[in-house]
């Protein structure tokens, strides 16, 4: 499930820094909404500051890890992802295919190379970003060796370059 959460987080238009900036602004707003009336009613700054800090902290704590938590809940409840899924990847000159197996069922997706906007390598995966901004990933732990992974990445880049040139 971690892999699906990672890919979904990468595919979302809002980056982590933008998300936490929004949470921070929301926390400040919530703090002000609570603190200002308390100051106006009680007429004391210390009580208003305590209310501001408490309301702001509540928003931050509630949203800390919130996107990941909500994605995990979605995958478990709506998509019934409780067990690990096996993913087979097939690379061809026409594109790249992903077949997922889960509880005796399979689902296949195929992307042509002209639909792949970029190929990004990180320390644990090779990501294929399509032109719509969605990602697919091939985890490096799935390769038998570093050499096999490098050959796969070289072939993917070769196929993509050839497809874009034609």
Q: What phi-psi label fits residue 104: left (phi over 0), alpha (psi between -120 and 50 degrees) or beta?
A: left
Which tokens sit at 132?
A: 């719509």
Whether residue 64 has pLDDT greater than 60: yes
Structural domains of the chain in order of their starting residue, each with its CATH number: 2-77 (no CATH), 86-165 (2.30.29)
The pLDDT of residue 150: 94
Whether residue 108 has pLDDT greater than 60: yes
Could you give the CA distance from residue 26 to residue 18 in angstroms, rounded to a whole number? 12
Report if pTM > 0.85.
no
Residue range 25-29: average pLDDT?
Answer: 90
Residue range 73-98: average pLDDT?
Answer: 78
Nearest-Å Rg of the Cα atoms of the chain is 23
Contact (CB, 8 A) for 85 and 122: no
Q: Is the dihedral of CA 59, 73, 141, 127 positive or negative?
A: negative
Give per-residue pLDDT as tens, 128-146.
988 888 888 888 988 999 9
């Amino acid at each position: 499930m971690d892999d699906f959460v990672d890919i979904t987080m990468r595919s979302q238009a809002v980056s982590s820094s933008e998300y936490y900036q929004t949470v921070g602004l929301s926390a400040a707003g919530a703090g002000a909404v609570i603190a200002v009336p308390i100051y106006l009613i009680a007429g004391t700054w210390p009580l208003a500051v305590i209310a501001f800090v408490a309301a702001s902290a509540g928003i931050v704590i509630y949203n800390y890890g919130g996107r990941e938590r909500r994605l995990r809940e979605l995958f478990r409840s709506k998509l019934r992802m409780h067990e690990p899924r096996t993913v087979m990847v097939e690379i061809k000159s026409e594109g790249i295919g992903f077949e997922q197996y889960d509880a005796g069922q399979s689902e296949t997706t195929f992307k042509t190379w002209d639909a792949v906007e970029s190929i990004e390598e990180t320390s644990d995966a090779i990501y294929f970003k399509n032109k719509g901004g969605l990602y697919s990933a091939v985890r490096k732990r799935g390769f038998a060796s570093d050499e096999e992974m490098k050959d796969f990445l070289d072939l993917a880049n070769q196929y993509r370059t050839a497809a874009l040139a034609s």
